[in-house]
Structure 1
Amino acid sequence: MLHEFSRTELLIGRQGLEMLARSKVAVFGIGGVGTFAVEGLVRAGVGKLVLVDDDCICLTNINRQLHASRKTIGRPKVEVMKERILDINPKAEVTAYQQFYLPEAACQLIHEDYDYIIDAIDTVTGKIDLVIRAREKGIPIISCMGAGNKLDPTRLEVADIFATSVCPLAKVMRQELRKRGIPSLKVIYSREEPLKPQETEATSCALGCVCPPGTTRKCTVRRQIPGSISFVPSVAGLIAAGEVIKDLIGGR
Structure 2
Amino acid sequence: MLNQFSRTELLLGNEAMDALKNARVAVFGIGGVGGFTVEALVRSGVGSIDIIDDDKVCLTNINRQIIATRKTVGKYKVDVMKERILEINPQVNVTAHQCFYSAETAEQFEFSNYDYIVDAIDTVSAKIEMILRAQEKNVPIISCMGAGNKLDPTKFEVTDIYKTSMCPLAKVMRRELKNRGVKKLKVVYSKEPARKPLEDMSISCRTNCICPPGAERKCTAKRQIPGSIAFVPSVAGLIIAGEVIKDLCGVR
What TM-score, normalized to structure 2?
0.98
Q: Residue in 1 aligned with 2:74? A: 74
Task: Give the structure 2 partner of residue 41 of structure 1.
Answer: 41
Match of 1:208 in 2: 208
What are the ranges of 5 or more consecutive residues in structure 1 without an aligned counterpart?
none
Counterpart CA distance in 2 for 1:188 and 1:98 is 25
| Residue 110 (structure 1) shift | 3.6
Cα deviation, 1:145-181, whole Å, max 9, x if unaligned, reads 0000000000000000000000000000000000000
Q: Once the two structures are aligned, what percentage of the paired residues are identical?
A: 64
**Alpha-carbon deviation of 1:109?**
2.2
Pair 1:25 & 2:35 matched: no
Aligned runs of 1:1-252 on 2, under 5 Å? 1-250=1-250
CA distance in 1, matches of 2:37, 2:210: 26
1:107-155 per-residue CA deviation (whole Å, 9 max, x = no partner) reads: 2124311000000000000000000000011110000000000000000
Deviation at 1:202, TM superposition (A): 1.6
**Letter in structure 2 aligned against 1:10:** L
1:181 partner SS: coil
> What amino acid sits opposite 1:51 in the alignment?
I
TM-aligned CA deviation for residue 19 of structure 1: 0.5
Structure 1 CA distance for aligned equivalents of residues 165 and 131 of structure 2? 19
How many Å separate the matches in 2 of 1:30 and 1:217? 14
Work out the number of aligned pairs and report it. Answer: 251
1:164-219 deviation per Cα after TM superposition (whole angstroms, max 9, x unaligned) = 00000000000000000000000000000000001312211111000001100001
Equivalent residue of 2:203, what SS? coil
Amino acid at match of 1:124: V
Secondary structure at the counterpart of residue 49 of structure 1: strand
The farther-off stretch of 167-176 and 191-200 is 191-200
Give how far 1:223 is off. 1.2
Give the residue type in structure 2 aligned to 1:176.
Answer: E
Distance 1:250 1:203 in 2: 46
The one-letter code sitting in structure 1 at the alignment partner of 2:141 is I
* d(CA) in 2 for partners of 1:185, 1:163: 10
Equivalent position amino acid for 2:31 in 1: G
Q: Distance in 2 between matches of 1:109 and 1:94?
A: 15
Contact 2:111/2:134 (<8 A) preserved: no
- Per the normalisation by structure 1, the TM-score is 0.98
Instruction: Give me the CA root mean square deviation.
Output: 0.8
Aligned counterparts of 2:110 and 2:211: Cα–Cα separation in 1:
28
The separation in 2 between residues aligned to 1:104 and 1:69, in whole angstroms, is 32
For the residues of structure 1 that align with 2:135 and 2:104, how far apart are their CA atoms?
A: 17
The C-alpha deviation readout for 1:65-93, integer Å capped at 9, x for no partner, is 00000000000000000000000000000
Runs of 4+ in structure 1 displaced over 2 angstroms? none
Amino acid at match of 1:147: A
Alpha-carbon distance between aligned partners in 2 of 1:97 and 1:199, rounded to the nearest angstrom: 35
